[in-house]
């Protein structure tokens, strides 16, 4: 109790900075606008929505991860109502793409009064938290209201484990308040157990991210884009890049053009507020640059194609030959991004040395010779030259990536089996 008091005090002191980061206007970033009150629990009432399932996904990545789960849940139980909350406006934008499957609300900041107000209005039957978005006051209030709390697709990296261990007095009450923890891997379950989560609450269901459904629409749109980009051009995509990576990858592309002059780089920044700056950077490098949003005709002299739209990553990947996954060349700040989407498209993969958020997935793909861990410009350039000039090697590695995905499907069904829907 005393620990949570001091936590709440610290949260109060730092909340202005948290809210500033949420509300700060950036070019390309959607605005929270008049919905800011939702962060304080003043959420609009939802008519004809009796005891919905409350699913919380912090931002874009978690929303994308939980989308197949939501679709499968609704296909099995169309009568169930779902309220999907996100913290960020970019997450909200992604949630809106689910249409009638969910009702979106911003999740309250972790103040007890805000959580209580939200629960009074929404009256959820249970809370499902995607991955490991644990907030002490939220769990305390929800648990006291006798609302079951499930962690879905839970993961706990060694780094996160060490972090929680430092604040163990704060974590132990949360461990007791969790009803069930559906872990991606045995390693995750072991770390949760070391932090005090009862063994009876831990179930290894696998990663729901393996249950990827690539629609015919995505394949068709990707193939159509490939025709526009150049059917016979060697094309590589740098997906979900962060500040500091674009410069490195543009430098690699400059060197690549000396050996494969017709090569095209599809460059897709992780955050929409960076679209304009990355486009400008590409032009400063001297590349003929075109943006996806421009809608302009794609001439053969275009060297860099910037993916500056939302929700089209799979389409852009399908139009490419090789994928480099961003968030992996920026030291220990990010820890990589999910390799499974390009793997499900049968693409050979490159990732930098920082991938601690996706260690198991990365190692499985590396073991299958579907992914290469690249440490510097030379590594990236060498492997690109191999895969972009040797179609047979590229296709073998791509098929191995697809095999890894196919061998690990079924996590959504296993997770649904563990969640009481009555």
Nearest-angstrom CA–CA distance, 314 and 219: 8
Q: Give the Cβ contact number of residue 36 at 10 Å.
A: 14
Nearest-angstrom CA–CA distance, 415 and 418: 5
Give pLDDT < 50 ranges for the chain.
Answer: none
Distance, C-alpha 319 to centroid of its chain: 21
Buried b (16+ CB within 10 A) or exposed e, 350-377: bbbebbbbbbbbbebbbebebbbbbeee
pLDDT at position 104 is 96
Angle, alpha carbons 110-113-119 (nearest 5°): 85
Nearest-angstrom CA–CA distance, 184 and 286: 44
Those residues whose C-beta lies under 8 Å from the C-beta of residue 193, and which sit 6 or more positions away, are 199, 202
Residues taking part in catalysis:
62
Nearest-angstrom CA–CA distance, 83 and 52: 6
pLDDT at position 28 is 65
Nearest-angstrom CA–CA distance, 308 and 313: 10
The residue with tokens 């075109």 is 290
Give the three-class secondary structure for 276.
Answer: helix
Q: HSE of 190 in the Cβ direction (CA atoms, 13 Å)?
A: 5
pTM beyond 0.85, yes or no = no
Nearest-angstrom CA–CA distance, 419 and 230: 47
Query: CA distances (Å), 8 to each of 20, 23, 36, 64, 109, in order?
Result: 18, 21, 20, 30, 11
Domain with CATH 3.40.50.11720 in the chain: 31-212+410-418
pLDDT at position 132 is 86
Those residues whose C-beta lies under 8 Å from the C-beta of residue 205, and which sit 6 or more positions away, are 153, 182, 183, 184, 411, 414, 415, 418
Domain with CATH 3.40.50.2000 in the chain: 216-407
Q: CATH for 31-212+410-418?
A: 3.40.50.11720
Q: Which strand (E) or helix (H) includes residue 160?
A: helix 158-166
What is the third-level CATH fold of 216-407? Answer: Rossmann fold (3.40.50)
Q: Which strand (E) or helix (H) includes residue 106?
A: strand 103-106
The residue with tokens 């592309």 is 253
Among 180, 107, 179, CA closest to 146? 179
What pLDDT, in 10s, does the model give residues 408-422? 999 999 999 999 875
Tokens of 91: 């997450």
pLDDT at position 422 is 57
């Amino acid at each position: 109790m005393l620990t949570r008091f001091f936590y709440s005090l610290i949260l109060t002191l730092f909340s202005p900075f948290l809210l500033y980061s949420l509300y700060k206007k950036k070019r390309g970033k959607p605005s929270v606008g008049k919905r800011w009150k939702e962060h304080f629990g003043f959420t609009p009432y939802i008519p004809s929505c009796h005891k919905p399932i409350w699913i919380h996904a912090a931002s874009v990545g978690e929303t994308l991860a939980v989308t197949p789960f939501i679709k499968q849940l609704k296909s099995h139980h169309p009568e169930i109502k779902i309220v999907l909350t996100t913290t960020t406006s970019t997450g909200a934008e992604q949630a809106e793409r689910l249409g009638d499957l969910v009702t979106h609300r911003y999740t309250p900041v972790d103040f007890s009064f805000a959580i209580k107000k939200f629960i009074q209005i929404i009256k959820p039957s249970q809370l499902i938290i995607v991955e490991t978005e644990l907030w002490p006051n939220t769990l305390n209030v929800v648990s006291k209201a006798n609302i079951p709390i499930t962690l879905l697709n839970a993961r706990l990296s060694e780094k996160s484990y060490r972090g929680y261990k430092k604040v163990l007095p704060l974590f132990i009450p949360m461990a007791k308040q969790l009803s069930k923890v559906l872990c991606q891997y045995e390693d995750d379950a072991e770390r949760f157990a070391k932090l005090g989560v009862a063994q009876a609450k831990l179930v290894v269901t696998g990663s729901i991210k393996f249950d990827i459904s690539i629609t015919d629409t995505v394949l068709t749109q990707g193939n159509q884009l490939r025709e526009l980009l150049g059917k016979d051009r060697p094309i590589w995509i740098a997906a979900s890049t962060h500040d500091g990576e674009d410069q490195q990858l543009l430098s690699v592309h400059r060197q690549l053009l000396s050996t494969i002059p017709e090569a095209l780089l599809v460059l897709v920044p992780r955050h929409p507020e960076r679209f304009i700056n990355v486009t400008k950077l590409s032009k400063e490098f001297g590349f003929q640059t075109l943006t996806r949003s421009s809608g302009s005709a794609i001439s053969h002299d275009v060297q860099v194609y910037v993916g500056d739209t939302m929700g089209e990553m799979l389409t852009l990947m399908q139009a490419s030959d090789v994928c480099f996954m961003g968030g992996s060349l920026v030291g220990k700040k990010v820890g990589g991004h999910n390799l499974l989407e390009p793997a499900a498209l049968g693409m050979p993969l490159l990732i930098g040395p920082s991938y601690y958020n996706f260690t198991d997935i990365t190692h499985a793909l590396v073991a299958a010779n579907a992914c290469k861990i690249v440490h510097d410009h030379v590594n990236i350039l060498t492997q690109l030259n191999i895969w972009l000039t040797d179609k047979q090697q590229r296709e073998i590695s791509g098929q191995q990536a697809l095999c890894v995905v196919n061998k690990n499907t079924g996590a959504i069904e296993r997770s649904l089996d563990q969640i009481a829907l009555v």
